[in-house]
Structure 1
Amino acid sequence: MQNNPENDDKQDIAPSKTQRKKDMHALQEIGEQLVELDQKKLNEFDLPEILMDAIKQARTMQKHGARRRQMQYIGKLMRNIDVLPIQEKLNSWHQASLHQTAKLHQLERWRERLLTDEHALTEFAQKYPTADLQHLRLLIRNAQKEKAADKPPKSFRLLFQALQATITET
């Protein structure tokens, strides 16, 4: 057998069957993300009408086999469009969601620390000098009293909102 350089070049250019399947699965996953979006966000994409119709149909399907076939069809339709801008927008929304979740967790941690640790307010004041410490002290005291008396957590919620306002303004 001789090595033919022309055959080697053709083999390098054509993707393997495994790679083609991976690409198709990736398109299907993007399609699944599009199906899960609400209509307002979906309209932000400039998708072909046939793809929008397929996505709308997939939303109504309950049976697993039918939905799976529909998702494959959506993946097939997505081969004909540029998916890079779609993927970038989905990723940016996901990152924004992760950032928002992290911010809420930070607020929760501050609220818990302020309610349990007496030195936490001093630390909070150093980190956020624009904070209204008198108002925060009042909310902390009221939230602790509410918890001790098994009352509704009104001040607990107000403390969260006050922390949120303080942290976002800095």
Structure 2
Amino acid sequence: MTYPHHDDDFDPDAPPSKSQRKRDMHALQDLGAQLVDLSVERLRKVPMPEDLFEAVRAAQRITAHGARRRQMQYIGKLMRNIDPEPIQAQLDVFNGVSRVEIARQHRLEKLRNDLLEDEKVLGDIAGRWPQADLQHLRNLRRNALKEREQEKPPRAYRELFRILRELEEGGAAPQDEGAGEGEA
């Protein structure tokens, strides 16, 4: 079957068709919708101009359907003037889509499991992150092992992962909040 438009008729210098422009506009609005769904903490980590940040924050506060739809269109309009790639890349990191992020998650999961298997791994953690609170990690390890043994929800297990992730990201785990949790 032949179609009226052939690849050899394709002109790379021709402006995009109206349909293509519309698809691009909807893709930018969808990207904007993903931004609106983010928490403020994550939104601050996304590289974007201040006016786009403010528009997204405004959309997060709007509850009326029509007003929200118009705000989403405005966000799409603002996004036409920026490169969406850095924003998409950060959203991929948040969603665990990037290979680097997946590898990082696996590395941290392995470190957590190694720590549960052998307390001597705390020495490796201390060597890698001198600011780590080893006593808190030791307590979390003990509590995670108890949770596993008693088939309780894995609170300490998850907390271990969170602290290891924060250490790797360069910030020490906040010890003033909840440092006493789970200590016996």
TM-score by length of structure 1 reads 0.53
Q: Report the counterpart of residue 78 of structure 1 in structure 2.
A: 79
Structure-to-structure mapping, 1:93-112, within 5 angstroms: 93-95=94-96
Change (3 A) 1:143 1:72: same
Q: In the alignment, what sits opposite 2:44?
A: 43
Q: Which residue of 2 aligns with 1:143?
A: 150
What SS does the corresponding residue of 1:95 show, helix, strand or coil? coil
User: Are 1:69 and 2:76 an aligned pair?
Assistant: no
Deviations 1:15-66 (A, max 9, x none): 1111111101110111111112222222223422221221111011111111
Q: What do residues 111-151 of structure 1 show as CA deviations (whole Å, max 9, x unaligned)? A: xxxxxxxxxxxxxxxxx8x837xx9xx9699638xxxxxxx
Separation in 1 of the partners of 2:56 and 2:87?
A: 14
Larger radius of gyration: 1
Q: Which runs of 5+ in 1 are unaligned?
A: 1-7, 104-127, 145-152
Residue 142 and residue 72 in structure 1: after superposition, are their counterparts in 2 closer, same or farther (change >3 A)?
A: closer
Mapping of 1:152-167 within 5 angstroms? 153=152, 157=154, 161=157
Residues 64 and 142 of structure 1: CA distance in aligned 2, closer, same or farther (over 3 Å): same
Shift of 1:157: 4.5
Q: Does 1:18 align with 2:23?
A: no
Q: Provide the alpha-carbon RMSD of the alignment.
A: 4.3
User: What is the CA distance between 1:9 and its match in structure 2?
Assistant: 7.2
User: CA separation in 1, counterparts of 2:56 and 2:67?
Assistant: 13
Tell me which amino acid in the other structure corresponds to 2:52: L
> Are the structure 2 counterparts of residues 12 and 67 from structure 1 closer, same or farther at C-alpha, using a change threshold of 3 Å?
same
Question: Alignment partner of 2:117: what SS?
Answer: coil
State the 4+ residue runs in structure 1 displaced beyond 4 angstroms: 8-12, 96-99, 138-142
2:69 alignment partner, SS class: helix
Identify which of 122, 127, 131 aligns with 2:117.
Answer: 131
Residue 54 to residue 141, structure 1, CA distance change in 2 (3 Å): closer
Bigger relative contact order, structure 1 or 2 (CA pairs below 8 A, ≥6 apart): 1
Identity of aligned residues (%): 45
Normalized per residue, which structure has more helix? 1
Cα distance in structure 1, aligned partners of 2:97 and 2:148: 34
Paired AA for residue 143 in structure 1: Q
SS across alignment from 1:13:
coil
Letter in 2 for 1:38: S
